[in-house]
Amino acid sequence: MDDGAYWDAFPTTLTTGDVAKILSVGKPAVLTRLKSGVIPGHLIVGSWIIFKAEVRAWLESTSNQAPPGPPEPVDVLADYAEEMSYRDLMELFGKTKQTIYTWLHSGEIPAFHAGNRWIIHKPQLRRKLAETSNQKTQHDQ
């Protein structure tokens, strides 16, 4: 199986089980590495959101065949419109409608409630993802 086909077998948003399979470790090891920031992820209301693109970039940066340095930046929101819906968040985060609505109602995800519709602006969501990331950026240091 080539590299592309291998990664295509995984969803866009990974579970801890998916990451355990990718790294050939147990789920407790994945959780420990998420908490310490070794594995890139976003902690939102006690849930780890792990994007395949970020994990793949991180692993590629640790390869003995890659030039040393930090992982290439990944924009997990690139394929989404500037105004996103709860359905977009369900797809992006791999969560149920109920979970997304709970996060929207509680304000954990920045959004506007227009009538019976939630509108999520991409720049605000991008800031939230930066805030919830377990990775240190140059801005943070």
Length in residues, the chain: 141
Domain presence at residue 65: yes
- Residues 103/44, Cβ–Cβ less than 8 Å: yes
pTM of this structure: 0.84
109 in any annotated domain: no
Neighbouring C-alpha atoms within 13 Å toward the C-beta of 22: 24
Q: Is residue 35 part of a domain?
A: yes
> What range defines the domain where residue 47 resides?
3-71
Give the strand order in the sheet containing 47-51.
13-14, 47-51, 42-44
The domain total for the chain is 1
Listing DSSP states for 9-48 in one string gives TS-SEE-HHHHHHHHTS-HHHHHHHHHHTSS--EEETTEE
pLDDT, tens digit, 9 for 90 and up, residues 42-76? 999 999 999 999 999 999 888 787 676 777 789 99
Angle between helical axes of 16-23 and 27-36 (0-180°, round to 10): 100
In terms of C-beta density within 10 A (0-12 exposed, 13-18 middle, 19 or more buried), how is residue 7 classed? Answer: middle
In a domain, 99, yes or no: no
Q: Is residue 30 part of a domain?
A: yes
Residues of the chain with pLDDT under 70: 1-2, 66, 68, 137-141
- Within a domain: 42: yes
